Amino acid sequence: MQQQAIVVNEPTDATGLEQTSIPVPAPGPGQLLVKVAATGVNFIETYQRSGVYTVDYPFVPGSEFAGVVEQIGEGVQNFKLGDRVATASGEAGYSQYALVDADLTAKVPDSVDLHIAAALPLQGMTAHYLVHSSYMVHEGDVILTYAGAGGVGLILTQLLKLKGATVITTASTQEKKDLAKAAGADYVVDYDQVADTVEKVTGGKGVNAVYDGIGKDTFETSLAALRRRGTLVLFGGASGQVPPFDLQRLNAGGSLTVTRPKLADFLTSQQEMHWRFGDMVGWVATGKIDVRIGAQYPLAEAGAAHAALESRATTGKVILLP
């Protein structure tokens, strides 16, 4: 059987994403074939598409999707045909049917819409590990983050508020500022106001931690914003990657910590994945957090989705509908 998918044949810009017909894969041992209801679009796919991250071509992007179990591979237990599932660890999700290891797949409660479920695994579990594992946020902490109306940003701010932190964030337009405020951020400012705001809010002491997904353009501001023994969690490079860095600066800055995490290292077991996804989906189901789908595109328009993400035109989550 054939299906429609987005295939990348070589490093390209967003215009090089084209829909093609490819075979529907068969699930191997331990795998599920999922009929995709919605696929999450993430920055990592722009890095893979453009060659910033190395992948083998031809390549179908997409590790995050939600849908319904269509076929079950040998040896899989605990899943049945028709189960509603979501994952951040699937293969080739920019398609109509995609494979995933059953161990890295979570069931989605009936009360949670599959489009929301597709918007949650990657950015939601990222926000979860950032506040619980990369730097453990404590009540009363002052935290700096950026892109407060972004996919990770909107969820991260809500988790930081659940933890009792004061949140300083940025946004580039008034609409984005309003969204970041509505998510609970205490201070939403322009990028060039970050240093002054940190100074004012912390009385010159600096913040406990910075979550920086912007990278090249914000790294220096992030370092300067930290208090003694503060932690900089550099989790992405939306503006480009941070150049090589002299570790002695961490000493001079006040025994600072810098970490550069990725989600896969915080989903190391089925138990860890169930903890993080279970918390997130539970908080969505009980209304503790809200997940905003800012835009949805037909699968064939994946290139337009990438272009929008890269040009700062999006808010919240972007999904593809097959």
Q: Which residues bind ligand NDP (CB under 6 A)?
A: 42-44, 122-123, 126, 147, 149-153, 171-172, 176, 213-214, 217, 235-239, 261-263, 309-310, 312, 314
Q: Which is nearer to ligand NDP, 43 or 219 (CB)?
A: 43
Q: Which is nearer to ligand NDP, 151 or 230 (CB)?
A: 151
Q: Which is nearer to ligand NDP, 84 or 128 (CB)?
A: 128
State in angstroms the smallest separation of the CB of 184 from ligand NDP: 16
State in angstroms the smallest separation of the CB of 238 from ligand NDP: 4
State in angstroms the smallest separation of the CB of 140 from ligand NDP: 25
Q: Which is nearer to ligand NDP, 217 or 301 (CB)?
A: 217
State in angstroms the smallest separation of the CB of 3 from ligand NDP: 26
> Mind spelling out the 3-state secondary structure of the chain?
CEEEEEEECCCCCHHHCEEEEEECCCCCCCEEEEEEEEEEECHHHHHHHHCCCCCCCCECCCCCEEEEEEEECCCCCCCCCCCEEEECCCECCCECEEEEEHHHEEECCCCCCHHHHHHCHHHHHHHHHHHHHHCCCCCCCEEEECCCCEHHHHHHHHHHHHCCCEEEEECCCHHHHHHHHHCCCCEEECHHHHHHHHHHHHCCCCEEEEEECCCCCCHHHHHHHEEEEEEEEECCCCCCCCCCCCCHHHHHCCCCEEECCCHHHHCCCHHHHHHHHHHHHHHHHCCCCCCCEEEEEEHHHHHHHHHHHHCCCCCEEEEEEC
Q: Which is nearer to ligand NDP, 129 or 283 (CB)?
A: 129
State in angstroms the smallest separation of the CB of 196 from ligand NDP: 18
Q: Which is nearer to ligand NDP, 81 or 313 (CB)?
A: 313
State in angstroms the smallest separation of the CB of 164 from ligand NDP: 23
State in angstroms the smallest separation of the CB of 123 from ligand NDP: 5
State in angstroms the smallest separation of the CB of 95 from ligand NDP: 20
Q: Which is nearer to ligand NDP, 239 or 257 (CB)?
A: 239
Q: Which is nearer to ligand NDP, 71 or 239 (CB)?
A: 239
Q: Which is nearer to ligand NDP, 59 or 211 (CB)?
A: 211
Q: Which long-range contacts (CB under 8 A, 24 or more apart) does 128-131 make?
A: 128/159, 128/276, 128/279, 128/280, 129/261, 129/263, 129/266, 129/276, 130/156, 130/159, 130/211, 130/233, 130/235, 130/261, 131/156, 131/159, 131/160, 131/163
Of 113, 92, 106, whose CA–CA distance to 37 is shortest?
A: 113
State in angstroms the smallest separation of the CB of 317 from ligand NDP: 8
CB 153 within 8 A of CB 177: no
